[in-house]
Amino acid sequence: MQRLRVLAEQLDVVYQQISEQYSAYQRQRELFCRSGCGECCLHPGIEASVLEMLPLAIKLYDEGRAEQALDDIQQHQKAGCFLYQSFSEDGKQGQCGSYAHRPAVCRLFGAAGYTGREGQVELSVCKVIKADHPQALKDSLIALESDPPPMIRHGKELVRQVDYELGGRNLPVNDAIKQALEKVLFEGYYASMTEPEPVIPLADPLDYALPA
């Protein structure tokens, strides 16, 4: 369990670094996300590694909510990410239920770079941002060489470097959350017999509200 805690702490440092770097590019190029938009959280193709979900799983474990969260995710039937809290009928307006512990994928996308077929830098921009900021998109494409975007693969590699075993395989995001919870519960069970009890922080009421 101690090893998982160390990995989660290392990951928090990397998360901070990539969040600042990728958000700075979006801000600087004025490729802003639409306020309250949750379309990316509904996408069926969101993937994360078990490693990426460890900080959330450990937080829930320390608050005594990991088993409940595991039950909830096993019964989750809605489209998109388990953590997404939608506010509109069509589901497109909403927010992340655990923004501080979101995985790397949610920090890297929006507007970031990828390598095209010929090895050239291309700009990946979410379709909502494209529609909202056509001029900023045009300017960003013109400035691609002089002001290159941070590359998605660099961010992913920084995360993977924390632990290649747990970070090497991407899964659908809900499976990654589930497996991270199972891992933490499993290791926590054995640690409870051999390691001293951790200091349990107070639950943050704004972070991951279990469904009623």
Q: Given the rule CB under 6 A, which residues bind ligand SF4?
A: 41, 46, 81, 83-84, 96, 102-103, 106, 173
Nearer to ligand SF4, 15 or 191 (CB): 15
State in angstroms the smallest separation of the CB of 39 from ligand SF4: 10
* Contacting residues for 50 by C-beta, under 8 A, at least 6 apart: 166, 167, 169, 171, 176, 179, 180, 183
Shortest distance, position 80 Cβ to ligand SF4, whole Å: 7
Min separation Cβ 52 and ligand SF4, Å: 9
Nearer to ligand SF4, 31 or 96 (CB): 96
Tell the burial category of 65 from Cβ atoms under 10 Å away from its Cβ (0-12, 13-18, 19+).
Answer: middle
Residue whose CB is less far from ligand SF4, 56 or 191: 56
Cβ 62 to ligand SF4 shortest distance, Å: 19
Residue among 139 and 182 whose Cβ is closer to ligand SF4: 182
Phi, psi of 204, rounded to the nearest 5 degrees? -90, 115
| Least separation in angstroms between CB 173 and ligand SF4 | 6
Closer to ligand SF4 by Cβ: residue 90 or 197? 90
